[in-house]
Amino acid sequence: NIEKVVENRKMQDLILDVVVPLEEQIEIKDGKKKATLKKVFPGYVLVKMVMSDDSWYIVRNTRGVTGFVGPGSKPVPLSDEEVRMMGVEQFETVVDYEIGDSVRVIDGPLENFIGTVEEISIDKKKVRVMVSMFGRETPVELDFIQIQKL
């Protein structure tokens, strides 16, 4: 949501990056190993931004934003050392699929649908998947964490 507003209002110079830190975890289900991406800090989004009235307005008025870490109502910036200690720079986006791969939707209203990767947007952390619905192929934009390679 924040990324779309930033793009629409051309504020990339104020809101530099929006990150949901993910890590790959191996789960064993029915005797099979399955790699999944899990949120490192569920419920939290990290925003690298230049603090200004405009950028602050966009972040605090984004749908789904309910509060901020720190005292009072304004967020407390993390120091470079705190970011390093959290290991956020280690959570680069891991994309283990490519265009043409078959994937399963594992989260959201289309859960368990099978589709084919048509486009991957690393910077937006989105993937466009062609899913068969009502007898026709339909493009669906999903977050990386919502799909799994078959």
List the CATH code of the domain at 102-149. Answer: 2.30.30.30
pLDDT, tens digit, 9 for 90 and up, residues 8-54: 888 888 888 888 877 777 777 776 767 777 888 888 888 888 888 88
pLDDT of residue 113: 94
Residue 60 in this model has a pLDDT that exceeds 80: yes
Residue 128 in this model has a pLDDT that exceeds 80: yes
CATH superfamily of 2-90: NusG, N-terminal domain (3.30.70.940)
pLDDT of residue 115: 96
pLDDT of residue 90: 52
Convert the chain into a string of H (helix), E (strand) and C (coil): CHHHHHHHCCCCCCEEEEECCEEEEEEEECCEEEEEEEECCCCCCEEEECCCHHHHHHHHCCCCCCCCCCCCCCCCCCCHHHHHHHCHHHCCCCCCCCCCCEEEECCCCCCCCEEEEEEEECCCCEEEEEEEECCEEEEEEEEHHHEEEC
Give me the percent of the chain exceeding a pLDDT of 90: 18
Q: Average pLDDT, stretch 63-89?
A: 75
Domain ranges for the chain: 2-90, 102-149
pTM for this predicted structure: 0.50
Q: Average pLDDT, stretch 103-132?
A: 89
Residue bearing the bigger pLDDT, 65 or 113: 113
Q: Nearest-CA neighbor of 48 among 69, 17, 79, 4? A: 17
